[in-house]
Structure 1
Amino acid sequence: MKDYYEILGVPEDASVDEIKKKYRELVKQYHPDLNKGDEEAAKRMAEINEAYQVLTDPKKRAEYDAMRKGGVGFSSEYYRPGQGFDFFDSIFRDFFTDFPFGSSFFNRTATKTKPRGTDINLEVTLSLKDVVTGCTKSLRFFRDELCEECHGTGAKDGKTKTCERCHGTGVVENRQSTPFGVFITQTTCPTCHGAGSVPEQVCPVCHGTGVVKRQRTLDLQIPPGIENNDVITLKGQGNAVKDGASGDINVTVKIIIPPPWRRKGKDLYTEVHVPYYHAILGGKIKVTTATGEEKELLLEPGTQPDQEYILANEGVPDKSGRYRGDLHVTIKVDLPSKLSPQERKFLEEIRKLHEGDNKKRFGLFN
Structure 2
Amino acid sequence: MTDDNGGLRWGVVGTGGIAHSFLEGLRAVPSATVTAVGSRTRDRADEFADAWGVPERHGSYEELAQSPNVDAVYVATPHPWHHPNTLTCLNAGKHVLVEKPMAMNALQVSEMVAAARANDRFLMEAMWTRYLPVSRLVRELVDDGAIGEVCWLSAEFGANVPYDPDHRIFNADLGGGALLDLGIYPLAFASRHLGELTVVGATRQLSPDRMVDTHTTVLVRGENGATGTLSCSSRTTLPNRAVVAGSKGWLEIPNFFAATTAVLHRDGREREEFHRPFRANGYEYEAEEVARCVAAGERESPDMPWSESLHLARISDQIRDVGGLVYSPANVKAVPLG
Give the TM-score category using the shorter length: under 0.3
In the superposition, the TM-score normalised over structure 1's length comes to 0.21
Q: Which has the higher contact order (CA 8 A, sep 6+)?
A: 2
> Would you tell me which structure has more helix in proportion to its own residues?
2
In the superposition, the TM-score normalised over structure 2's length comes to 0.22
